[in-house]
Amino acid sequence: MAWERGRIERKFIGDLVRLPRETKTAAVNASEERSIRYDAATRKFEVQGEQFVAEIPNDTVTITVLKDGNDDVSESDWELTCFPDGTCKPGGLQLSIDGRTFFISVSKNGDVTTGDTELPPFEDESWSAGEIETRG
């Protein structure tokens, strides 16, 4: 029984990790933004306009943190959007799986990072321009 539950949880994690990558690809291919949303009633992560789904398999998997950038958001407000140019709105989520912590993070350029720790804060990927320097 425990082996089967572990297999189902690993499949869910694999589906969930693939979801942002598939969403980014779909946005680029369709030349339209695509968003992942979480439906608390069905316990599914779904992509608007696509068939991509990751369904939380059992009660041993719980969502502990949902982030829009560095801001905590509720389940109903969480959305991870990818744009036709291949960029994404930074966001992520943190899960508890049988008491173990797991996170998925998507950066501004659409890179997906995962780990067995708490969801790290997003770093600002912009910088201020310097002053104009007169040469010659």
pLDDT tens for each residue of 76-87? 999 999 999 999
pLDDT tens for each residue of 8-46? 888 999 999 999 999 999 999 999 999 999 999 999 999
pLDDT at 127 over 60: no
- The CA–CA distances, whole Å, from 18 to 2, 11, 26, 112 equal 24, 11, 12, 9
Confidence of residue 6 (pLDDT cuts 50, 70, 90): confident
- Residue from 4, 20, 14 nearest 79 by CA: 20
Q: Note whether 54 and 12 are within 8 A (CB).
A: yes
Which is it for strands 44-47 and 53-55: parallel, antiparallel or unpaired?
antiparallel
Strands (E), the chain: 34-39, 44-47, 53-55, 61-68, 71-72, 79-82, 91-97, 100-106, 112-115
The confidence score (pLDDT) of residue 1 equals 74
The confidence score (pLDDT) of residue 59 equals 85
pTM for this entry:
0.81
Confidence of residue 124 (pLDDT cuts 50, 70, 90): low
Confidence of residue 60 (pLDDT cuts 50, 70, 90): confident
Bridge partners (DSSP) listed for residue 68 = 71, 91
The confidence score (pLDDT) of residue 123 equals 76
Q: Note whether 26 and 49 are within 8 A (CB).
A: yes
Residues 6+ apart with CB under 8 A from 115: 102, 103
